Structure 1
Amino acid sequence: MKSKILIGLLTLSTLLACSKLEENPDALLVSEQFYLNEGQALSAVTGTYRKLYESGQSIYNGLFQIGVEMATDDYEAGPRARNAHVRAISGLTHDESNDRMEQLWKQSYDAINASNLNIKNIEAMAEGQISPAIKTRLINEAKFLRALHYFNLVRWFGDVPLIVEPVASLSGEQLYVSKATEAEVYTHIENDLIQAESLPNYLDYGEKDRGRASKGAAKSLLSKVYLTQQKWELARNKAKEVIDEEGYGLFESYADVFAVDKKNGKEHIFSAQFQGNSGYQGNSLAGRSAPADIPGINGDYSDALHAEGLLYQSFESQDTRLPITFTTGKVSPTNGQYYALSKPQFNKYYDESVVGNQSQSSKNLSIIRYAEVLLIYAEAENELTAAPTTSAIDALNSVRSRAKASLYTGGSTKDGFRELVFEERRKELVYEYQRWFDLVRRGVDYYIAKLHAAKKTQAAARHIHFPTPQRELNLNPNLKQHPDWINY
């Protein structure tokens, strides 16, 4: 893979006061001059978090939605989604030239290289430069972040290059890396996360550091990695550790999950951190989904509900998630009139404090939260038994009870309970970058059936992966296209 990264440089100018992960960074230094003391090492790792959710279309700030989730039964390109590449993903006509695929690949490897730089340089720091405890913690934070990016890459693209050393030269050996197998990538992800399990409990961080990777975040992500590979017992056991040992819990109200004043609370295991009116670091999903035709709201309406998928209709009327997840109309802040919408629109990240400028929404986006761990446990436990167990049912009902949805009272088969858990994930995690991953891990037949039922009839077997970007194939002669995307 050829990178456009400035070799040996760390760009830390993005460390703004918007995040709770606050340090006082030096702006731009050559790497060998940078890791001279503990403060600089902290700043370097903190800067790597920002690569998750920088302003613009970065991985967890919109790119996931337009580059991945559009290819599901729940989402489509809205009326104001003008980019032809985004509309192609929505209609499943995308190919290897799609620029969103390029960005998913490029930004992920950019972030991985930053973590590789941190790991190598912090490992080389002497005891007099950094305390042993902080040194170990920062290395494991970097390994957690690297694992997260590789977990995304291997699910999107299948076999991918596995690069675990920083790019330090323009030699062919470093630039022209062949793909590793999915199994090799998953093994590395697991190893990184197992080491990251030595991170502190989230409650051990001070207030300004809440939101950093923690022991519970590593365990939770590892349980999801195991679940994705159908390592059911490992997934169940790791999720159970999180449930029993890490001190998380569900908020009383579903609305609290998305409340600005509840950020990094007991349900938020790991989140993308946003703060409006602070260097343009708002959550772009709020503006992308907000109504465009209501005076004074000024939304983009470029992310839309795919009505034929029947997601909105799947909620019970009393389900408290429904009015948090969607809106069917809003009062104009300009003239005070109520405007009904032609169909429901996403509302999770709409920030009432910035009504006229939703690009400055301060609502965080959960990458993994406690409700999902409960559902991971329920799913994995069910796969290990002949019929739904009490503990699996209790985990499912914990999520449903908080939502005031009807509780499951038994009677389903193993297969039936599996579908209940999947539908619960769908409703609980709407607009949180989960649907595509859930569909494709069930396999080709499941993905195609769901998309065709939602009248996205272009869906085909190749769509459970994304193509290796043509740009990368052109730059690296050792890369090969995913087999499903050859001669399709």
Structure 2
Amino acid sequence: MKNIYVLILATFMLFGAACNKSFLEVDPKALQIEENYYKNPQEAFNGLVAAYDPLSWEGVSQYANFVVFVAGADECYSGGGSSSDLPYLQALNNYSISPGIGPQLDFWKMYFVGVARSNTIINILNNKEISGLAGEVKARYIAEAKILRAYYYFSLVRLFRNIPFYTEPVTSEEIYNLEQVDPATVYAQVEKDLTEAIAEGSLPDKVDAATEGGRMTRGIAKALLGKVYLYEEKWPAAASVLAEVNGTPGSANDTYGYKLLDNFADIFNPEHLHSSESILEFNHTATASSGWGNTSKVEGLIATTMLGPRSYKGSVYVFGWGGCPIIPEFSQLMYSDPRYQATIADVDSLVGLGEATYAPGYLNTGKFVRKYAPLLAYRPTTGGPPPLNYPQNYIEIRLADTYLMEAEALLESGGSATRAGQLLNAVRARVGLPAVAATLENIYLERRKELATEGHRWFDLVRWGQAATVLAYKGFTAGKNEIFPIPLAEMNNTKLVQNPGY
């Protein structure tokens, strides 16, 4: 079987009618598909692929992806050509985000499309007899769709907190009457979906990256469940399930196939997609030859272009939009760390050596994000425009992340400080750093350095209750900016209530 994201290209036109729809719109074509489709195993698989599809979206009407949270944290500024360029980054960099300004509509749309498609395939497989679809295959599809629905709802509840909630397909008459629910209701469903998927015997522990890279596994479900428990501050439960993912610190976990890579920089190299360190990875490809237009149809990693220096010419990199120049204080923090060169692209040094030129943009510092930078060696050379077709994947969860999450949960729950230290120091040992004491402060600092510019820092600061202090200089307001506003476009003629402060 081909990589599942390649199959998205074959099924996109069938399900694409609803891609650009708001949460509060029901497409009659989509309803007709649901009623008349799913007659054979291939069509059932196509429905599952459609539920996977939003994972790789880089936005809907603009570009909303992990880069937004990099600009919102204390690692980078927004960048761009001017203070009005890349407005979805500016809104988080200076916390001018409002119901009508910011990236929230794109996140809202793509995650609710994911929920709707997951609901549809789960409902179909549970209630419709599909000739030729083996029982164990059907069970696996349902388990995968439940993990997808859990991911989409987890993403929505931690971004917006107060969201509508439904687990069955809804009609156009019903959707305008949906009300927001207590976040606990959403978290309970996320836990339920993940625990049921984990218990399903047809769900594989791991898959062959070359043939099924990107498909949901029991290992992914457990890592995601551990992360969910962490956000709920269910510390013992988080530590327990993450321990199953992590195994012996620093050694390979044969059950799920996870192991820290020896070379830190290899994690983000396009030649090491779906490595042993990668747990939840979102695939992108240059083979789709994506073109300008609806960004949800783009199959490359647009984030790569967002992070490149403007009008760049020279060795190593390719030009981009100048997004997320590194904040000098963060660069200084990282400078003596072995991960510095794999984390920060020192473009000004190349200019000083006469190896490059570029046009400094807004809030330029001369240093840019290296992990997902547009590299000359991997610049697309065929098909559509290169800015839309970079082949890097985005890694949402990786093993060093789950090591540090488990270590944090252990200390918060009064668990084994010895194991917490082993987990923390396995991450450090990989890059040649000496062992340190297992304290929460050391774990916080290690997360900041190890996971820098990967989109996790903003969420960490919020869940630790540190965002209002650390990000005060950017305009972060306590009691407001911990969550996004409900998009203005979603408020009309509905029962939705705006989030506090907006």
1:145 paired with 2:148, answer yes
- Which residue, 169, 172, 175 being the options, matches 1:170? 172
8 Å contact kept, 1:275–1:363? yes
CA spacing shift, 1:35–1:294, aligned 2, 3 Å: same
The question of whether the paired residues in 2 share the 8 Å contact of 1:250 and 1:370 is answered with yes
Q: Superposition pairs for residues 38-49 of structure 1, below 5 Å?
A: 38-49=41-52
2:98 to 95, 98, 105: 95
Give the conservation status (yes or no) of the 8 Å contact 2:147–2:221. yes
- Cα–Cα, structure 1 residues 294 and 218, in superposed 2: closer, same or farther, change >3 Å? same
How many Å separate the matches in 1 of 2:12 and 2:319? 37
**Superposition deviation, residue 227 in structure 1:** 0.4
Compared with structure 1, are the counterparts of its residues 157 and 196 closer, same or farther at alpha carbon in structure 2 (3 Å cutoff)?
same
Counterpart CA distance in 2 for 1:47 and 1:107 is 12
Show the counterpart of 1:398. Answer: 426
Residue 405 of structure 1 aligns to a residue whose secondary structure is coil
Give yes or no for the alignment of 1:385 onto 2:414: yes
Unaligned runs of 5+ in 2: 16-32, 248-254, 291-298, 381-385
Of residues 117, 128, 134, the one that matches 1:114 is: 117
Letter in 2 for 1:301: G
User: Secondary structure of 1:462's partner?
Assistant: coil
Match of 2:442 among 420, 425, 432: 420
**Equivalents in 1 of 2:429, 2:220: separation in Å?**
24
* Aligned position for 2:30: none
Alignment partner of 2:499 out of 478, 482, 488: 482
- Give the corresponding residue for 1:12: none
CA distance in 1, matches of 2:183, 2:157: 6
2:478 is the counterpart of 1:468: no
The corresponding residue for 2:301 is 283
Residues in 1 aligned to 2:258 and 2:226: alpha-carbon distance in whole angstroms: 15
Letter in 1 for 2:376: E
Per-residue CA deviation, residues 291-311 of structure 1 (Å, 9 max, x unaligned), is 11422632111233233xx22
Summarize deviations over 1:291-339 as a string: whole Å, max 9, x none: 11422632111233233xx2222225251x2111111028989x98245
Aligned to 1:8: none
Where does residue 367 of structure 1 map in the other structure? 396
- What does residue 208 of structure 1 align with? 211
- Counting only pairs closer than 5 Å after superposition, residues 16-415 of structure 1 correspond to structure 2 as 19=5, 25=11, 27-28=13-14, 30-54=33-57, 56-57=58-59, 62-65=63-66, 67-80=68-81, 82-126=85-129, 128-167=131-170, 169-171=171-173, 173-197=174-198, 198=200, 200-205=203-208, 207-244=210-247, 245-280=255-290, 281-295=299-313, 297-307=318-328, 310-315=329-334, 317-319=336-338, 321-329=339-347, 337-339=355-357, 342-350=365-373, 351-355=375-379, 357-385=386-414, 389-408=417-436, 410=437
Q: Taking structure 2 as the reference length, what is the TM-score of the superposition?
A: 0.82
SS of the residue aligned with 1:305?
Answer: coil
Shift of 1:72: 2.0
Q: Cα–Cα, structure 1 residues 101 and 459, in superposed 2: closer, same or farther, change >3 Å?
A: same
Distance in structure 1 (CA, Å) of the matches to 2:8 and 2:480: 42
Deviates more, 1:76-85 or 1:222-231: 76-85
Q: Deviation of residue 427 (structure 1)?
A: 1.6
Residues 18 and 295 (structure 1 numbering): CA distance in 2 closer, same or farther, change over 3 Å?
farther
Indicate how the Cα distance of structure 1 residues 447 and 336 shifts in structure 2: closer, same or farther if over 3 A, else same: closer
Q: Deviations 1:41-70 (Å, cap 9, x if unpaired)? A: 11221122221113x5359x9513454443
1:449 alignment partner in structure 2: 469
Structure 1 residues 187-218: Cα deviation after superposition (integer angstroms, max 9, x where no partner): 01100111121363453447321211110000
Could you tell me how far 1:94 is from its partner in structure 2? 1.5
Whether the aligned pair in 2 keeps the contact of 1:96 and 1:468 (CA below 8 Å) is yes
Pick closer, same or farther for the CA change 1:175–1:78 going to 2, 3 Å: same
- Are residues 241 and 62 of structure 1, via their aligned partners in 2, closer, same or farther at CA, if it must alter by over 3 Å? farther
2 CA distance for matches of 1:442 and 1:448?
10
Report the Cα distance in structure 2 between the residues aligned to 1:86 and 1:475, rounded to whole angstroms: 29
What secondary structure sits across from 1:467 in the alignment?
coil
Distance in 1 (CA, whole Å) between partners of 2:387 and 2:446 is 28
**Which of 406, 430, 433 lines up with 2:452 in the alignment?**
430
Q: CA RMSD in A?
A: 2.8
Amino acid in the other structure paired with 2:414: T
Quote the Cα distance in structure 2 between the aligned partners of 1:161 and 1:110: 13
Alpha-carbon contact 1:141-1:196 (below 8 Å) kept: yes
* Counterparts of 1:201 and 1:312, CA distance in 2: 41
Aligned to 1:459: 477
Give the direction of change, closer, same or farther, for the CA distance of 1:429–1:475 in structure 2 (3 Å limit). Answer: farther
Contact 2:72-2:89 within 8 A present in 1 as well: no
> How many residues of Structure 1 are paired with residues of Structure 2 in the alignment?
450
- Return the offset for 1:399: 0.8
Kindly indicate whether the alpha-carbon contact (under 8 Å) linking 1:147 and 1:189 is maintained by their aligned counterparts in 2. yes
Which stretch shows the higher mean deviation, 389-398 or 464-473?
464-473
Q: Is residue 207–residue 217 contact of structure 2 (8 Å, CA) maintained in 1? A: no
- Structure 1: give runs of 5+ residues left out of the alignment: 1-15
Q: 2:39, 2:130 within 8 Å by CA — same for their partners in 1?
A: no
Instruction: Check 1:208–1:475 CA distance in 2 against 1; reply closer, same or farther (3 A cut).
Output: farther
Report the AA paired with residue 345 of structure 1.
F
Q: 1:255 to 1:436 in 2, by over 3 A?
A: same
Conserved 8 A contact 1:202-1:210? no
Contact 1:157–1:466 under 8 Å retained in 2? yes
Distance across 1 between alignment mates of 2:148 and 2:501:
29
Give the AA of the match of 1:33: N
After superposition, the C-alpha distances for 1:229-249 in whole angstroms (9 at most, x for unaligned) are 110000000001112342311
How far residue 430 of structure 1 moved from its aligned partner, in angstroms, is 2.0
The percentage of counterpart residues that share the same residue type is 27
CA-to-aligned-CA distance 1:399-429 (integer Å, 9 cap, x gap): 1111223321x3x6xxxx1121112112222
Distance 1:382 1:211 in 2: 32
Amino acid at match of 1:248: Y
